[in-house]
């Protein structure tokens, strides 16, 4: 029964792809987007099989944790509607009458609660089927990828088909955003936030744009609030450029990010609660504690962060190296690690090819490319500084990867590369 229900939702979502105007992108046939959705569902099904048979302990299987806790939360309504209301809206969570649910929901903590509550609501129409929840998550993440493809294709029309790769078919993104995990919701929020921020700057559909911006900011605040801190300067500059079309975009982005960092550091000096350097140190210590208690199989040797500006700058090279190049092929002894290692190898090759195709006079006339580079690099540095567990590293850097690869594909000049390197010419 659950399989037929999931198939029914699958067909319904495919119907929506062909009917909703949002999915219409110039140069991209709707068949391709529908195909991408089906591929995502297949990837989600493969993930479910891996976690069912390769990692059979359901209590530690990430894709089932938030799903199972959502089922417990949904069940509270049949015991007491007031209990369900309190759990859903965070009212008097310390009440003794709710202890019975917290004893069962092992993962109902900050950062997980939004997804658990989402799953609880979905349980009312899913008959408790993981396949249905997975299909919904695939469609939600597809919406985010479509928003990004729609935006980037409108600017870089000659690269629209190339951009299908980072926004739909990137292996890690395809895999991890297709399970009942945070990544699918994050990709949705990221895509809609960037897309409607640019629409706001253009002055299009102001009420609609502001509404979606507020919704996505709320989602980030509930799931991974630090992403908002990283996104803010780039998004602000996108709006300002759409309004004023300022020149020297690269210099403006560089200067704005330096000023933004200086403001954040100064704020930390004025109030310890706002000290980002201390937050980085604390987050790293939390991960070290996880390593100590759970003894994961793949751990990177990180240098301890000194919560000072020189101390952080000193370890940034190692942080970027870890987040960009680890895991590598020699560390690939599981399916997940092999997938990530292969993707990292392809990324290295793509970066090299892109650099070889550039010339000294290469001009980047649109701020989207700078947004991609700065957002990806800032996120990768933070992840590399704080996350020593390889599996967690792979998942935490997923929001950065589509933008980094999109930037490389946009910058890659295939004609110049052919002329310079394949025909022995110089340019």
Q: How far is CA 48 from the centre of its chain?
A: 20
Which tokens go with 323? 């987040």
Domain count, the chain: 2
Q: Are residues 159 and 237 in the same domain?
A: no
Domain boundary among 224, 259, 289: 224
Task: Compute, in degrees rounded to 10, the torsion defined by CA atoms 184, 190, 191, 193.
Answer: 140
Q: Are residues 237 and 209 in the same domain?
A: no
Q: Let me know the angle formed at the C-alpha of 18 by 14 and 24, rounded to the nearest 5 degrees.
A: 125
One domain, residues 245 and 218: no
The answer to whether residues 211 and 278 belong to one domain is no
Same domain, 180 and 275: no
Residue length, the chain? 427
- Per-residue confidence in pLDDT tens, the chain, 427 aa: 788 999 999 999 999 999 999 999 998 999 999 999 999 999 999 999 988 888 777 777 788 999 999 999 999 999 999 999 999 999 999 999 999 999 999 889 888 999 999 999 999 999 999 999 999 999 999 999 999 999 999 999 889 999 999 999 999 999 999 999 999 999 999 999 999 999 999 998 899 999 999 999 999 999 999 999 999 999 999 999 999 888 889 999 999 999 999 999 999 888 888 889 999 999 999 999 988 888 787 888 888 888 889 989 999 999 999 999 888 887 777 777 888 888 899 999 999 999 888 876 666 678 999 999 999 999 999 999 999 998 889 999 999 999 999 999 999 988 888 877 776 555 4
Alpha-carbon distance of 375 to 88, in angstroms, equals: 33
What are the DSSP calls for 313-345, one per residue?
A: HHHHHHHHHHHHH-S-GGG--SHHHHHHHHHHH
Q: How far apart are CA 426 and CA 410, in angstroms?
A: 21
> Is residue 259 domain-shared with residue 156, that is, in the same domain?
no
From 159, 194, 224, the end of a domain falls on 224
Domain extent for 366: 233-427
**pTM: predicted TM-score of the whole model, two decimal places:** 0.93
DSSP string, 17-67: HHH-GGG-BTTB-HHHHHHHHHHHHHHHHHHHHIIIIIS--GGG-HHHHHH
- Retrieve residue 83's tokens: 């209990």
Give the residue from 193, 224, 255 where a domain finishes: 224
208 and 253 part of one domain: no
């Amino acid at each position: 029964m659950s399989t037929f229900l999931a198939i029914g939702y699958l067909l319904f979502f495919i119907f929506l792809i062909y009917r909703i105007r949002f999915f219409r992108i110039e140069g991209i046939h709707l068949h391709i987007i529908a195909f991408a959705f089906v591929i995502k569902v297949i990837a989600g099904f493969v993930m479910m099989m891996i976690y069912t048979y390769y990692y059979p302990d359901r209590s530690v299987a990430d894709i089932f944790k938030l799903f199972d806790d959502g089922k417990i939360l949904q069940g509270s309504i049949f015991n007491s509607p007031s209990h369900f209301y309190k759990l859903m809206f965070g009212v008097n969570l310390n009440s003794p009458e709710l202890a019975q649910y917290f004893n069962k929901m092992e993962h109902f903590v900050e950062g997980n609660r939004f997804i658990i509550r989402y799953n609880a609501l979905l349980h009312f129409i899913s008959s408790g089927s993981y396949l249905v929840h997975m299909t919904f998550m695939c469609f939600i993440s597809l919406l985010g990828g479509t928003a990004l493809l729609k935006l980037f294709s409108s600017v870089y029309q000659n690269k629209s088909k190339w951009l299908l790769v980072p926004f739909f078919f990137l292996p890690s993104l395809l895999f991890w955003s297709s399970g009942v995990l945070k990544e699918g919701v994050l990709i949705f929020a990221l895509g809609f936030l960037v897309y409607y921020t640019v629409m706001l700057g253009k002055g299009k559909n102001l009420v609609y744009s502001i509404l979606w911006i507020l919704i996505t900011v709320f989602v980030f605040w509930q799931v991974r609030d630090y992403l908002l801190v990283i996104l803010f300067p780039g998004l602000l500059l996108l709006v300002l450029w759409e309004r004023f079309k300022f020149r020297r975009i690269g210099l403006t982005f560089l200067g704005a990010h330096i000023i933004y960092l200086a403001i954040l550091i100064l704020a930390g000096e004025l109030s310890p609660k706002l000290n980002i350097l201390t937050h980085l140190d604390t987050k790293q210590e939390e991960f070290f504690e996880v390593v100590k208690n759970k003894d994961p199989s793949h751990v990177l040797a990180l240098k301890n962060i000194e919560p000072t500006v020189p101390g952080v700058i000193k370890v940034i090279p190692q942080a970027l190296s870890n987040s960009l190049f680890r895991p590598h092929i020699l560390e690939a002894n599981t399916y997940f690690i092999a997938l990530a290692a292969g993707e990292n190898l392809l990324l290295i090759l793509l970066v090299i090819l892109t650099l070889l195709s550039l010339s000294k006079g290469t001009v980047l006339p649109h701020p989207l490319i700078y947004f991609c580079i700065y957002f990806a690099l800032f996120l990768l540095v933070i992840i590399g500084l704080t996350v020593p567990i390889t599996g967690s590293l792979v998942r935490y850097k997923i929001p950065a990867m589509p933008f980094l690869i999109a930037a490389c594909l946009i910058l890659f000049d295939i004609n110049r590369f052919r002329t310079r390197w394949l025909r022995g010419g110089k340019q």
